[in-house]
């Protein structure tokens, strides 16, 4: 984070140097020390600092207040006055410049930091509030600071207008009175009187702060939450002249803290409790059941059917509005003691408090399903949805709350299999299946260490020459007792449990090493014969020129060391970057487009090629082609299947090819299964093809054996 720049204007060199050293120790940047008002104005206009610490009394024709007035008139920056004493006239003049605080000399680091941070925070708020000044005007006024000063006897001799407004006392009425009469502080919880900090600072001869949760009683009996600090005032001989108190209305701060706390525990879209708050309340229910075994509860997981279709068809704004309108319908069918939360996407969770009868849970699920079946009218669209609900009763023993949600999720998916608008109660069979899944999770986490992963390679050929140009590395799991598992049987699980990046990196390293071995064999170019990879009979090239394609999960883009990791693998295996093609899906861009674009640009510096996989299946694929450094587009197999019989698919593929070629990108067609499909794609100008027409995925040992024949 960039350091805040503080301009120090102080004509006493020793104090200025001490202040500069303290500020630097506190993490601020102090580019210069200015000793005159005229120089302060000139330097501020040149440097444009984040904040000015201005000595009120400068021995110059232009004093600190005059200098501050000119600086704040030209620049929107906060000024905090440095002062060893403050007479009434000076404070009145200073108040006209709207200072952001006062720091007493000699200063304390804690007080210095507090005043600067308050000033920067207040100034930042004020700048933001200028854009909303109509409804934030009251807030802007409320964050002003009140200042009061006393003499050595502790009697008030100065109050600024903000202090007058906060207390209900005018300065004329307050002068000569004890601070305990004008400023009455009480503890917000215990209601006990708090010792006045102005008097306390005189007694202990140091800065005093109010504790938290303090209220100021106004003259009319109103209560205002405040934050306060007071410190002695010394003259140039070090003798105490009195004390000064800075009083800040913390209503807005406490309101913001309450809002931040609310935001941390609630979904910003629906305002329902979020996952964190739901799990907290669920843990409370579990703890209560431990104390009182007769107590029971029910967890329900609700997933909206057809939501993705509506979201993709009508857009995210309509989808968001639908989620907003679903929330009150869910709440309307439950009691106030129950909890409805949004876990994310179109998934909601419900906690039925003090329910032990499965019949009651089923009845609640039926009411929710029936309520959600009623049409929603959004932007003149009449929308119909249903819900699938998984139910878990607390009668099943659980060690942690996450397992409850996991089993509710299992039951919910069983409900989806049963048909839309259904519910299922988690039972012993599902529990057994959950345990099997857990064991598989544990086994998958150890699969790399136990050497259970395998790589098969599916060739990608140039359609015009039939020469193999690349091999896509496809991972398999040789699971003991279950045989060879394909990616769709364990990759989603690897993503869920967070090991997908380890799997991808293992595949990348193994594939790069294998390609290096094949290159060193020097067998010329390769082609396909009867589904096998063989040496090209007419090739005289000394080594194969094909590349290796490796799929890259979007999870990688959440890691800051992605590029360094891949560069290290290329370096370790000795493979040159232009032989590597990384296949990504558009989910990479959807989840974090800005960071993804930056990482892809760094990857391109390794000379690797970027392939956009499964093109055409996403919501906004076209927008990515010109925004990101994509070299090759792979048309999804769903468009290739039927291209020889479906004219609509044919035109879609033609349009994709024309667009990609216009943008200078090559195209690979996936899922080619017939010679007719190949010929059509060749006529359309498609460069590369992949599919069962040419070859299925083959293990490295078989490829090597076929090449040696």
Spatial distance between the Cα atoms of 27 and 29, rounded to a whole number of angstroms: 7
In the prediction, which pLDDT does 653 show? 92
Which pLDDT tens digit goes with each residue over 15-37? 888 888 888 888 898 988 888 88
Q: Which domain, by its residues, includes 38?
A: 1-143
Confirm whether 115 is domain-assigned: yes
- Domain boundary (211, 242, 265) is at 265
The partner residues of 223 in beta bridges, in order of sequence, read 217
- Looking up residue 103, the CATH number of its domain turns out to be 3.40.50.2300
Q: Which H or E run includes 337?
A: none
Clarify whether residues 133 and 159 are in a common domain.
no
Residues 6+ apart with CB under 8 A from 177: 155, 156
195, 197, 202, 208: which is closest to 232 by C-alpha?
202
In a domain, 439, yes or no: no
Task: Answer whether residue 162 is part of any domain.
Answer: yes
pLDDT of amino acid 578: 92
pLDDT at 239: 87
Looking at 372, 407, 426, the residue that finishes a domain is 426
Examine the fold and report which residue of 104, 119, 143 is the final residue of a domain before the chain moves on. 143
Query: Which residues, at least 6 apart from 392, have a Cβ–Cβ distance to it below 8 Å?
Result: 298, 299, 300, 404, 407, 408, 411, 425, 426
- Please give the pLDDT value at position 141: 33
Burial letters 222-235, b for 16+ CB under 10 A, else e:
eebbbbbbbbbbbe
Task: Give me the pLDDT at residue 699, please.
Answer: 93
Task: Kindly report the CATH number assigned to the domain that includes residue 487.
Answer: 3.20.20.450
* pLDDT computed for residue 622 by the predictor: 63
Q: Are residues 312 and 404 in the same domain?
A: yes
Query: How many CB atoms sit inside 10 A of residue 530's CB?
Result: 6
Find where tokens 């010929």 sit.
679
**Phi and psi based region of residue 42 (left: phi greater than 0; alpha: psi -120 to 50; beta: remaining):** alpha
Q: What span, in angstroms and rounded, lies between the C-alpha atoms of 589 and 604?
A: 16
Nearest Cα to 272, choosing from 337, 333, 335, 323?
A: 323
**Which segments of the chain have a pLDDT < 70?**
1, 86, 129-144, 399, 434, 523, 537-544, 590-592, 617-624
The answer to whether 231 and 247 have CB atoms below 8 angstroms apart is no
Does 230 lie in the same domain as 291? Answer: no
Give the CA distances from residue 675 to residues 614, 678, 680, in Å, rounded to whole numbers and listed in that order: 21, 5, 9
Give the CATH number of the domain where residue 414 resides: 3.30.70.270
Residue 107 is classified by DSSP as: P
Tell me, yes or no, whether 435 lies in a domain: no
d(CA 472, CA 611): 11
pTM of the model: 0.48
CA distance to 87, 195, 233, 450, 536, per residue, from 173 (Å): 18, 22, 23, 84, 103
Q: How far apart are CA 507 and CA 489, in angstroms?
A: 17
Residues 87 and 164 in one domain: no
DSSP per residue over 374-394, as a string? S-EEETTEEE--EEEEEEEET
List strand residue ranges (DSSP E) for 235-274, in order: 240-249
Give the pLDDT score at 139.
30
What CATH number is associated with residue 161? 3.30.450.20
Q: Cα(245)–Cα(462) distance, rounded to whole angstroms?
A: 81
| Those residues with Cβ within 8 angstroms of residue 224's Cβ, 6 or more apart along the chain or in another chain | 166, 215, 216, 218, 249, 251
Total structural domains within the chain: 4
Residue 459, H or E segment: strand 453-462
Q: Concatenated DSSP letters for 35-71? A: -SHHHHHHHHHHH--SEEEEES--SSSS-HHHHHHHH
Structure tokens at 63: 């004093």
Residues 186 and 208 in one domain: yes
State whether 222 and 292 are in the same domain.
no
* C-alpha closest to that of 577 among 585, 589, 568: 568
Residue 442 in domain: no
Whether 388 and 463 share a structural domain = no
Q: Does residue 679 sit within a domain? A: yes
Q: Are residues 291 and 202 in the same domain?
A: no
Whether the link from the prior residue into 106 is cis, omega within 30° of 0, is yes
| 561/684 Cα distance (integer angstroms) | 41
Residues 462 and 602 in one domain: yes
For residues 616 and 154, give the distance between their C-alpha atoms in angstroms, rounded to a whole number: 78
Helix (H, G, I), strand (E, B) or coil at 495: helix
Percent helix, strand, coil in the chain (nearest 5)?
45, 25, 30
Pairwise CA distance, residues 587 & 553, whole Å:
9
Q: In angstroms, what is the C-alpha Rg of the chain?
A: 35
Co-location of 246 and 293 in the same domain? no
Q: Do 193 and 185 contact (CB within 8 A), yes or no?
A: yes
Q: DSSP string of 119-184?
A: HHHHHHHHHHHGGGHHHHHHHHHHT-EEEEEE-TTS-EEEE-HHHHHHHS--HHHHTTS-HHHH-E
The reply to whether 201 falls in a domain is yes
Q: Are both 538 and 624 inside the same structural domain?
A: yes
Q: Which two tokens stand for residue 487?
A: 């990616």
Tokens 């507090």 belong to: 114
Which pLDDT does position 625 carry in this prediction? 72
Sequence-ordered list of residues with C-beta below 8 angstroms from that of 648, at least 6 positions apart, any chain: none
| Residue-level pLDDT at 623 | 63
Q: List Cβ neighbours of 679 (8 Å cut-off, separation of 6 or more).
A: none
Task: Let me know: does 286 contact 378? Beta carbons within 8 Å.
Answer: no
In a domain, residue 433? The reply is no
Domain co-membership, 180 together with 313: no
Q: Which residue's structure tokens are 């503080």?
A: 6
């Amino acid at each position: 984070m960039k350091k805040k720049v503080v301009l120090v204007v102080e004509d006493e060199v020793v104090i200025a140097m001490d202040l500069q050293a303290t500020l630097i120790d506190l993490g601020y940047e102090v580019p210069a020390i200015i000793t005159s008002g005229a120089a302060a104005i000139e330097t501020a206009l040149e440097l444009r600092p984040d904040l000015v610490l201005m000595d009120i009394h400068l021995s110059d024709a232009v004093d600190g207040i005059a200098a501050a007035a000119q600086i704040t008139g030209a620049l929107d920056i906060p000024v905090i006055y440095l002062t060893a004493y403050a007479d009434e006239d000076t404070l009145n003049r200073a108040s006209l410049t709207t200072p952001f605080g006062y720091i007493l000399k000699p200063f304390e680091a804690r007080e210095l930091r507090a005043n600067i941070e308050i000033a920067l925070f207040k100034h930042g708020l004020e700048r933001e509030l200028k854009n909303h000044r109509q409804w934030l005007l009251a807030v802007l006024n409320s964050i002003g600071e009140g200042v009061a000063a006393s003499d050595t006897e502790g009697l008030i001799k100065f109050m600024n207008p903000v202090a007058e407004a906060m207390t209900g006392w005018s300065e004329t009425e307050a002068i000569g009175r004890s601070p305990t009469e004008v400023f009455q502080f009480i503890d917000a919880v215990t209601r006990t009187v708090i010792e006045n900090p102005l008097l306390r600072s005189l007694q202990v001869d140091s800065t005093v702060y109010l504790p938290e949760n303090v209220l100021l009683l106004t003259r009319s009996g109103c209560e205002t939450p405040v934050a306060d600090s007071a410190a002695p005032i010394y003259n140039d001989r070090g003798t105490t002249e009195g004390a000064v108190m800075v009083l800040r209305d913390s209503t807005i701060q406490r309101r913001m803290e309450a809002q931040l706390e609310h935001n941390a525990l609630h979904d910003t879209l629906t305002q329902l409790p979020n996952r964190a708050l739901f799990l907290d309340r669920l843990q409370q229910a579990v703890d209560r059941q431990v104390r009182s075994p007769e107590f029971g509860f029910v967890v329900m997981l609700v997933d909206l059917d057809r939501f993705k279709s509506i979201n993709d068809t009508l857009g995210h704004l309509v989808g968001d509005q639908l989620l907003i309108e679903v929330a009150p319908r869910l709440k309307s069918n439950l009691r106030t003691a129950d909890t409805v939360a949004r876990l994310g996407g179109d998934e909601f969770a419900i906690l039925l408090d003090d329910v032990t009868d499965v019949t009651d849970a089923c009845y609640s699920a039926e009411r929710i399903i029936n309520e959600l079946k009623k049409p929603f009218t959004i932007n003149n669209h009449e929308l119909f949805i249903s819900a699938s609900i998984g139910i878990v009763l607390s009668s099943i023993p659980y060690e942690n709350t996450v397992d409850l949600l996991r089993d509710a999720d299992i039951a919910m998916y069983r409900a989806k299999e049963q048909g839309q608008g259904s519910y299922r109660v988690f039972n012993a069979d599902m529990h057994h299946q959950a345990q099997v899944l857990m064991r598989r999770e544990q086994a998958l986490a150890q699969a790399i260490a136990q050497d259970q992963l395998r790589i098969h390679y599916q060739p990608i050929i140039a359609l015009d020459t039939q020469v193999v140009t690349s091999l896509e590395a496809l991972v398999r799991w040789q699971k003991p007792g279950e045989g060879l598992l394909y990616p769709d049987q364990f990759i989603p699980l690897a993503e869920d449990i967070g090991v997908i990046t380890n799997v991808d990196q293992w595949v990348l390293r193994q594939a790069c090493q294998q390609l290096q071995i094949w290159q060193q064999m020097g067998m010329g170019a390769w082609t396909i014969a009867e589904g096998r990879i063989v040496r090209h009979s007419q090739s005289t090239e000394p080594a194969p020129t094909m590349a290796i394609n490796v799929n890259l999960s979007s999870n990688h883009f959440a890691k800051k060391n992605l590029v360094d990791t891949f560069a290290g693998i290329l370096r370790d295996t000795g493979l040159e970057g232009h032989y590597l093609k990384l296949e990504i899906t558009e989910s990479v861009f959807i989840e974090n487009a800005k960071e993804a674009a930056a990482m892809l640009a760094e990857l391109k510096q390794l000379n690797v090629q970027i392939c956009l996989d499964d093109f055409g299946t996403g919501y906004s694929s076209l927008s990515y082609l010109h925004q990101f450094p994509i070299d090759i587009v792979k048309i999804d197999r769903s468009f290739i299947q039927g291209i020889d019989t479906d004219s609509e698919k044919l035109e879609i593929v033609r349009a994709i090819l024309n667009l990609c070629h216009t943008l200078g990108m090559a195209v690979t067609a996936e899922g080619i299964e017939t010679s007719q499909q190949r010929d059509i794609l060749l006529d359309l100008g498609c460069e590369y093809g992949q599919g069962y027409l040419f070859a299925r995925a083959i293990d490295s040992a078989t490829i090597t054996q076929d090449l040696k024949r």
